Chain A
């Protein structure tokens, strides 16, 4: 088990390092001229050179990647044109070209927003999906079942960003979307995120209805369920105790992967509801050609994805004792 985790961790780290090198090469070593972007249109040659020097852009490629990695692990110092030393402590991802703030700080501010949206939405779609899916499976073939299945197929087929946009524009009964830190005011935090949670939650609930219905139907056909029935246990207890417990295992795996996916793909929700998460940060950085912020966003995204995949695999062994990692 421990060996398995270590091996997976090694492979995860290799993925993150390759992502880092590849995106660094893409962003900084391709002829993208970051100094020109900072310097603007009326730029003198000396100023350009000074910027290049202060960002170490005049160094050879390998040194630059080395410095960037060193910044992440132990921090690094930037020497600006006037000889002023700015210390950037680990994990240092550089400074935003347009705002001058440390990228690490910007990401640290944006991450809780994205996490609030995704985990809040996940609670909504998981519970709504599992409840409707279980009900549909229990009454399989009934009109209720058919409506649930057909409805979830329809909801799943409508483009998400269109739904989110229409909710944001027309559902004026919901409180205005805005982000307030949870620790400042939990009520404001929840009400500001409610529209995003409901949109993300109810659209995704459709898939979970289908997953849990299918899984439940399969479980209810198992021998041990028949045994339970023959023992005279009430139908309700069979479905909600014996059935749900076993049927949920595959659904929870999908949930973990979905959360990982949404953490890096929440930008539609964020930009439509105006919530300043990772996606919106990356979008702004794109508009302003702010390469260090883009790079930081991509890097954080890949770390989150890789870690979540690992967590899902490990958690799965606890949920399903038949799975052995080796």
Chain B
């Protein structure tokens, strides 16, 4: 597809000898033409901790995707109340049963297993979307700032520094408050589903707004050094359009840092989402979320520990697996790591 678009300029020579090969495709271009990315993935496949972590992560992804199916298998829904199974003090009269695999919630009597499987969804959706958005924005801004230079770079660098020096958790609290008053008006009497939706969107927006700057700074630095390398100089001399230099020549060389940064960002956003929701400033009911369940379960932690521990174990295992995976990915992409 390159050859047809490069009608005017003479086709650029393959930008790389050993340094730059298109990502993902581990086809040997000579006998020894393995790209750094391919080498890293080969290393990763041999890493047992990484593979187990990946398995756990995929397990949670499957749970999130098939949450309705799993709940149906159990025969429960995450919103149905079972008041008949709650005693006068608000405690459930049943424990773990064949009908309720993790028991039920105190006071409202909603099924805990159904809420748990549905709870995996917002965590993964929010964290996944934010990671995707921040990666796209960060890479684009970093590429432009590093490559174009001059005033563009100065302005973009200032913006990056500015975003990095904002107290981001405080903003994460403040911005949804403002968005809510803008869209819903006075908080009383607002429709719960609408509030939940706005909270969902504003959480993603706020986290994305503050998340891209770190990656942009990293990419800018990488581009500044790559820009002076021969293959880029050659491409420019040959008159390859800027956009093509950016995305066809530079980007493939940045795959390593981008993958590493995204794999470290993903678990951290899962924690942030659950943490903010736990504090009451993230997602709200009726969205079933682990952070929310943890915050309500705190009241019952002595009498009904399973209520607290099920979401705690869920989030801990997921984040642990993702962090170990991220760490392994970083090692795999780091040429200095000793094997």
Binding site for B on A (CB under 8 A): 11, 15, 18-19, 23, 26-27, 30-33, 36-37, 41, 153-154, 156-162, 165-166, 169, 264-265, 267-268, 271, 278-279, 282-283, 286-287, 289, 291, 294-295, 297-298, 301-302, 304-306, 309
Contacts and interface: CB of A to CB of B under 8 A. Distances in A.
B185 A157 contact: no
Contacts of B186: 33, 36-37, 41
A294 B167 contact: no
Contact of B178 (A30, A159, A161, A305): A30
30 contacts: A15-B161, A15-B162, A30-B178, A31-B181, A153-B323, A153-B324, A153-B327, A157-B323, A157-B327, A159-B271, A160-B275, A161-B278, A162-B312, A162-B315, A165-B312, A166-B312, A169-B308, A264-B167, A264-B168, A267-B169, A267-B173, A282-B170, A286-B174, A286-B176, A291-B177, A294-B170, A295-B174, A298-B170, A301-B166, A305-B167
A19 B166 contact: yes
Given A19-B166, A158-B316, A302-B165, A32 B178 contact: yes
Most buried by B among A37, A264, A286: A286
B336 to A, nearest CB: 11
B166 A268 contact: no
Contact of A161 (B171, B176, B274): B274
Contacts of B176: 286
A32 B316 contact: no
Given A153-B327, A154-B320, A162-B316, A298 B167 contact: yes
Contacts of B174: 23, 26-27, 282, 286, 294-295, 297-298
A28 to B, nearest CB: 10
B71 to A, nearest CB: 25
A161 B167 contact: no
B294 interface: yes
Contacts of B301: 169
A18 to B, nearest CB: 6
A287 B280 CA distance: 8
Contacts of A265: 167-169
B191 interface: no
B187 A283 contact: no
A23 B175 CA distance: 9
B319 A158 contact: yes
B188 interface: yes
Nearest to B169: A265
A158 B170 contact: no
Of all A-B residue pairs in the complex, the 9 with the closest CB atoms, nearest first, are A301-B167, A157-B323, A264-B167, A159-B271, A32-B181, A161-B275, A294-B174, A157-B320, A265-B169
Contacts of B275: 159-161, 268
B122 interface: no
Interface of B: 158, 161-162, 165-171, 173-178, 181-182, 185-188, 267, 271, 274-275, 278-281, 294, 298, 301, 308, 312, 315-316, 319-320, 323-324, 327
A44 to B, nearest CB: 15
A161 B324 contact: no
Nearest to A168: B298
Contacts of B167: 264-265, 298, 301-302, 304-305
A287 to B, nearest CB: 7
A286 B282 CA distance: 11
A224 B91 CA distance: 68
Most buried by A among B178, B188, B312: B178
Contacts of B319: 157-159
B166 A279 contact: no
A128 to B, nearest CB: 21
Most buried by B among A162, A169, A271: A162
Most buried by B among A159, A160, A283: A159
Given A18-B162, A169-B301, A305-B167, A286 B312 contact: no
A301 B324 contact: no
A294 B176 CA distance: 12
A32 B182 contact: yes
Given A160-B271, A302-B167, A305-B165, A283 B173 contact: yes
Nearest to B295: A165
Nearest to B301: A169
B195 to A, nearest CB: 13
Contacts of A306: 165
Most buried by B among A19, A157, A282: A157
A31 B182 contact: yes
Given A26-B174, A27-B174, A264-B169, 9 more contacts: A26-B178, A32-B178, A33-B186, A157-B319, A157-B323, A169-B301, A268-B275, A283-B279, A289-B187
Contact of A283 (B280, B308, B312): B280
A30 B182 contact: yes
Contacts of B185: 33, 36
Nearest to A303: B167
A289 B175 contact: no
A165 B165 CA distance: 28
Contacts of A158: 316, 319-320
A160 B312 CA distance: 12
Contacts of A291: 177-178
B168 to A, nearest CB: 8
Given A158-B319, A165-B298, A298 B171 contact: yes
Nearest to A294: B174
Nearest to A18: B162
Contacts of B271: 159-161
